[in-house]
A and B are shown apart, each in its own frame.
Chain A
Amino acid sequence: MPPSVTLAVTRYRPEQESEPTLQTYEVPFRKDWVVLDALNYIKDNLDGSLSFRWSCRMGVCGSCGMMVNGSPKLTCAAFLSDYLPGPVRVEPLQHFPVIRDLVGDITDFMQKLKRVKPWIIREQEKPLVEGEYLQTPDQLEMYKQFSMCINCMLCYSACPVYGLEQSFIGPAAIALAQRYNLDSRDEAARERLEILSEHDGMWQCTFVGECSKVCPKNVDPAGAIQQLKLVGAVDWFRFLLPWGTR
């Protein structure tokens, strides 16, 4: 076990430079440390000016996503020991504009998330006196996987279609739309399907599959997208049915 490991971290200070650079730091090596621990060591002891996002440090908040040696990862889940002997390259999440150092702007995703209406929509809400909407375990299982998304956006960094065309609605937004489409309590599947069938919606996806590979919660957004494509394709042919356009 080496006593220390080198981290090469992106620095970008818009007030003094026009391009990001890599700055190296020597960080003590502890076998139970993750990259986030190393970044916090840097901030606490070596260079307080380093900016980065983090919160829960246990893989549920989705805040600490960064590129570690070129792959999108949650830095709270990336063990330093897996990157020995180093150096470990830490860069801001790919495909997002960089505000400062390791902090990217995620408003694009926030707007796309709102577009797919990720909430239960009903034609008629049940009155309160009738109690809660009941759901069997089998009905829960239909969408549970897609509900695990923590909005960490590693999938957007992995998706080359999003990288090439920022208007693409993206993996997480589509997976979350499917989460609600499959929820037995929801009644707006058609509405969401129409939103997703717009020009920069799900049809831009070419099933690279990298999004599902990097997802830390095994949401499998690629699977959600292909399922929706099949639904969308079958739906397109509904005008052929004698019992009409419903």
Chain B
Amino acid sequence: MSPGTQYTPYHPKWYRSRMSVWWWLQNRSYVYFVLRELTSVFVGLCALLLLWHLRALVQGPEAHAYFLAQMRRPFFVALNGVGLLFILFHTITWFNLTPKAMVVRVGGKRVPDWTIAGLNYVAWVLLSVAVAVVLLRG
């Protein structure tokens, strides 16, 4: 192959297919991936919920009572229930994927993935207990 030769990237006779809009329904891994990405919607909604609660709290007891009453409505109970499922899905997938990005080496050997993930789960439990204690005992 002489040094001046260039491959032709475009060739009219080569067949090129377009990816379907439904590509993600092709196999289970892809569906799982899209569900995982959709957890971000519920993460955003939960952040907004916290913001709403905070604003209601700051605006006074009546505003706060109104917020609590809203949370008792079936629509919000359902939304929060579904949201909790998606957020738990986020938590589990996030912790299981963290070791892929965070490679820690101790004494020249790589710390196994389950240790990194496990430490995250432990932190999750401890922090959840701390938040619950603060909110339940005031």
Whether A97 pairs with B100 at a CB distance below 8 angstroms is: no
Whether B15 pairs with A14 at a CB distance below 8 angstroms is: yes
Interface string of A206-228 (1 = CB under 8 A from B): 11111001000000101100110
Whether A208 pairs with B26 at a CB distance below 8 angstroms is: no
**Residues from chain B with Cβ under 8 Å of A129 in the complex:** none
CA distance A97 to B12 in the complex (A): 10
Cβ-based interface call for A99 (8 A): yes
CA distance A111 to B8 in the complex (A): 12
Cβ-based interface call for B76 (8 A): no
**Residues from chain B with Cβ under 8 Å of A15 in the complex:** 13
**Residues from chain A with Cβ under 8 Å of B9 in the complex:** 107-108
Cβ-based interface call for B108 (8 A): yes
CB distance from A193 to the nearest CB of B (A): 15
Whether A206 pairs with B101 at a CB distance below 8 angstroms is: no
Interface residue tally on B, bucketed by range: 20 to 34
Whether B14 pairs with A97 at a CB distance below 8 angstroms is: yes
Cβ-based interface call for B11 (8 A): yes
CA distance A222 to B27 in the complex (A): 18
Whether B101 pairs with A213 at a CB distance below 8 angstroms is: no
Q: B101 contacts which of A14, A70, A105, A226 (Cβ < 8 Å)?
A: A226
Q: A209 contacts which of B11, B14, B33, B103 (Cβ < 8 Å)?
A: B33
Cβ-based interface call for A98 (8 A): yes
Interface string of B13-40 (1 = CB under 8 A from A): 1111001000110110110010001000
CB distance from A110 to the nearest CB of B (A): 8
Cβ-based interface call for A19 (8 A): yes
Cβ-based interface call for A57 (8 A): no
Interface string of B98-128 (1 = CB under 8 A from A): 0011110000111000000000000000000
CA distance A98 to B30 in the complex (A): 24
CA distance A135 to B16 in the complex (A): 45
Cβ-based interface call for A12 (8 A): yes
Whether B33 pairs with A70 at a CB distance below 8 angstroms is: no
Interface string of B30-62 (1 = CB under 8 A from A): 100100010000000000000000000000000
Whether B97 pairs with A207 at a CB distance below 8 angstroms is: yes
Whether A208 pairs with B101 at a CB distance below 8 angstroms is: no
**Residues from chain A with Cβ under 8 Å of B102 in the complex:** 230
Cβ-based interface call for B7 (8 A): yes
A97-B11, A207-B100 given; 16 more Cβ-contact pairs under 8 Å: A14-B15, A18-B15, A70-B27, A97-B15, A99-B14, A138-B109, A141-B110, A160-B30, A206-B37, A207-B97, A208-B30, A209-B29, A210-B29, A223-B100, A226-B97, A227-B103
